[in-house]
Amino acid sequence: MTSRRVRRLEYLALSIVVTALIGIFTLTPIYWLVVMSLQPFTVSGIIFPFQYYPLHPTLNNYFTIIGGSYAFLIPLRNSIIVSSSVMALALTIAPLSAYAIARLRFKYKVQSLFLLMIGGMVPAIVTIAPTYVLLRAVGLVPSLLAMIIPNVFYSQPLCVFLLTTYFCALPFELEDAAKMDGYTPLQTFWRVILPISTPGLFSAGIFSFLGSYGEFMLASVVTEGYMNVATVPIGVLRFSQSVGLQWTRVSAAIMLSLIPVIVIVLVFQKWVIRGLSAGSVKY
């Protein structure tokens, strides 16, 4: 073997080691969650002797929390309703603003973007009390709408920013050509810009979904302890507090609620990473 081939093999081996190390670092907690959720249930919560992988794996924990008095599918359903609605509404509003900021002529466009983005940096703790009062005054508490509406706008700064950077990167000749064909700005947006912007829309959609899926602070206030409108973070937390030591069931609940997130990351990883590196992501 030539030394060059040796060096290539070394490089490959080292790459695999490095990849494995990163995998161990990030996946170990999730591995343990899966292991615990597959362990047979014990009343004391202790598994004896300690096992690093399940000796007798079972799906019973999942069946228990789905059925009976736990009814864990309710928060899961609520979360999916909330997050899908937020995504749909956010994707209706955000592209309009982003298009105006990125491609139309008007005064104060930088200021508009600033106004949106600075707003997005207001910490959640500042917003929850007045928002709760407001939503209660209009009779939306407790309901899923009380989470959907605020989250649509919580996601606006990020969605508009992501789409603005995306639209800014498109060639300006597009509008010139559209103008030659006699398109109005709205027609240009609808027929020229939107059709080629699916990657940007994907990123914005994923972030609005994930953001509202994990949102806890406002949800914990506007659900007022009613479990029929609880979303997943509340459901899991309350469940873990009420059953205490039953870690096998709690693990199953956490795992169930992570499945949508993991699926999204695996299926849409390209857009997730692209969106993340466009900067300014809060979750």
Partner 1 sequence: MENESKIALLLILPSLIGVAIFYYYPVAQTVIFSLFRMKDTQDWLASPFVGLGNYVTVLTDPHFLYAVFFTLYFMGVSIFLEFWIGLGMALAAFWVPSKMRGIVLVFIVLPWAVPPIMEGLIWKLLLNGNVGLISQGLVTLGLFKSPPLFLESPPLAQLTVMAADAWKMSSIMAILLLAGLATIDKEILDAAKVDGARTWYRFWKITLPMISPMIMVALLFRMMDALRLFDLIYAMTGGGPGTVTYTLSLWAYTYYVDYVEYGYGSAYAMVVFLAVLLISFLYVTRLSKHLRFKGEIK
| 48-87 residues near partner 1, rule: CB under 8 A | 50, 52
Task: Count CB atoms within 10 A of the CB of residue 2.
Answer: 7
Q: Taking CB under 8 A as the rule, does residue 187 contact partner 1?
A: no
Q: How far is the CB of 146 from partner 1 (least distance, A)?
A: 12
Positions in 13-42 near partner 1 (CB under 8 A): 15-16, 18-19, 22-23, 25-30, 32-33, 35-36
Sign of CA dihedral 154, 157, 158, 162: positive
Q: Which of 113, 141, 144, 230 binds partner 1 (CB under 8 A)?
A: 113
Q: Which of 59, 133, 177, 259 binds partner 1 (CB under 8 A)?
A: 133
Please give the single-letter amino acid code of residue 217: M
**Helix or strand run (H / E) with residue 237:** helix 232-243
Q: Taking CB under 8 A as the rule, does residue 105 contact partner 1?
A: yes
Region of 171 (left: φ > 0; alpha: ψ -120 to 50; beta: rest) is: beta
Q: Which of 172, 180, 182, 195 binds partner 1 (CB under 8 A)?
A: 172
Q: Which two tokens stand for residue 185?
A: 């700005």
User: What binding mask, one character per residue, do residues 190-229 give for partner 1 by CB under 8 A, x or -?
Assistant: --------------------x--xx-xx--xx--------
Q: How far is the CB of 143 from partner 1 (least distance, A)?
A: 16
Per-residue burial over 131-169, b if 16 or more Cβ lie within 10 Å, else e, is bbeebeeeebbbbbbbbbbbbbebbbbbbbbbbbbbbee
Q: Choose between 64 and 189: whose C-beta lies nearer to partner 1.
A: 189
Q: Taking CB under 8 A as the rule, does residue 276 contact partner 1?
A: yes
> In whole angstroms, how large is the CA radius of gyration of the chain?
24
Q: Which of 1, 2, 43, 121 binds partner 1 (CB under 8 A)?
A: 121
Task: Count CB atoms within 10 A of the CB of residue 203.
Answer: 26
Q: Taking CB under 8 A as the rule, does residue 281 contact partner 1?
A: yes
Q: Choose between 30 and 59: whose C-beta lies nearer to partner 1.
A: 30
| Window contacting partner 1 (CB under 8 A); options: 59-67, 140-148, 191-199, 264-272 | 264-272
Q: How far is the CB of 103 from partner 1 (least distance, A)?
A: 6
CA–CA separation, 73 and 24 (whole Å)? 31
| Window contacting partner 1 (CB under 8 A); options: 56-64, 65-73, 91-99, 197-205 | 91-99
Q: Which of 73, 138, 168, 196 binds partner 1 (CB under 8 A)?
A: 168
In sequence order, the 6+-apart residues with CB closer than 8 A to the CB of 211 are 86, 151, 154, 155, 158, 282, 283
Q: Taking CB under 8 A as the rule, does residue 254 contact partner 1?
A: yes
CA within 13 Å, CB half, 233: 17
